[in-house]
Amino acid sequence: MKKHILVVPGDGIGQEVTRVGKKVLEKIAAKYGHEFTYDEALIGHVAIEATGEPLPDETLIKMRASDAILFGAVGHAKYDNDPNAKVRPEQGLLKMRKELGLFANLRPIKLFDELLSSSSIKPEILKGSDILFFRELTGDVYFGEKKRTADSASDLMIYHKYEVERIARKAFDAAMTRGKKLMSVDKANVLESSRLWREVIQEVSKDYPEVTVEHQFIDAAAMLLIKDPKRFDVVVLGNLFGDILTDEASQIAGSMGMLASASVGESTGVYEPIHGSAHDITGKNLANPMASVLSAALLLDISFGLKAESRDVISAVDQVLKAGFRTGDIADENTPKEKILGTVEIGEEILKRI
């Protein structure tokens, strides 16, 4: 198979973890006889510094010409502490999603048994959890009209019927291949946009009579996710609620450094860890690259249909964990110091096992 992959490291530790993710893809290509070619492009803070734009036109052209995109992270404390900044790294991320039509964000919560003790949740509550989130990615308050006066501000939470329907169908299709259970999360007791959301979910559900549908308000869902994560299977929710709930779900996996995601839609898919740019540990060889590696596994599976290769990558990560190796974020008091590795070293251990 011949495919072209664009690597977009972005900011902070994104540059370190995508380096490992790319090496994994190279190893897979060599092992299975595929021909993967690569290019790189700028986004976020590094793009602003180089071009003045968070998503340069050159990057967008390269994105559209690629078969898949391995993404890092965007963000910088410089902008977090300046609410008046007109140009921000995150604008590049939102524009990329809009321009590429990436309306569905898939976030599998993959729980490795070896990391049961890494979570702050009791192991007996966690064990057996297996959740697939479908977060709508191009609507909601992130893309609604924004207004600001001297003493007020507003963000329009808006959804159109077609936006809800297309993410719903992806979630229902996935539910049919899993446990035939789907939870839809909204705030229909308060928000008109959530009432539309719930109505569309109910309408689409008629085409999937085998799937059991459960509706939960976002506040109740946030509580249940910690109380009884095994209750969740496929979850579909809007952009804002999805942003919050999937970060909460990182505690099920033990660390954000373990969670991959896929953003798909109308064209090229984007595969990225859900963690941010983490500038406090940038350049220190401390970042956990496993989320980027698992994102590469999603890329192989979803964009290229290479399921055996994808399983090979996941198995390699599992073997590394079974061997007792950890990065700092998933180590505990029982982890021997010699087993706590840096970004580069844990990446090498994964590569050995592919």
- As annotated, the active-site residues are 142, 187, 219, 243, 247
Asked if 128 contacts 226 with a C-beta cutoff of 8 angstroms, the reply is: no
Asked if 351 contacts 27 with a C-beta cutoff of 8 angstroms, the reply is: yes
Helix, strand or coil, per DSSP, at residue 123: helix
DSSP string, 279-341: TTSTTTT----HHHHHHHHHIIIIIT--HHHHHHHHHHHHHHHHTT-B-GGG--TTS-GGGB-
Q: Tell me, what amino acid is at 353? A: R
Report d(CA 37, CA 77) in Å as an integer.
33
- Widest distance between CA atoms in the chain: 61
Name which of 193, 8, 159 is nearest 95 in CA terms: 8
Phi and psi, residue 41, nearest 5°: -150, 165
Which helix (H) or strand (E) segment holds residue 76: the answer is none
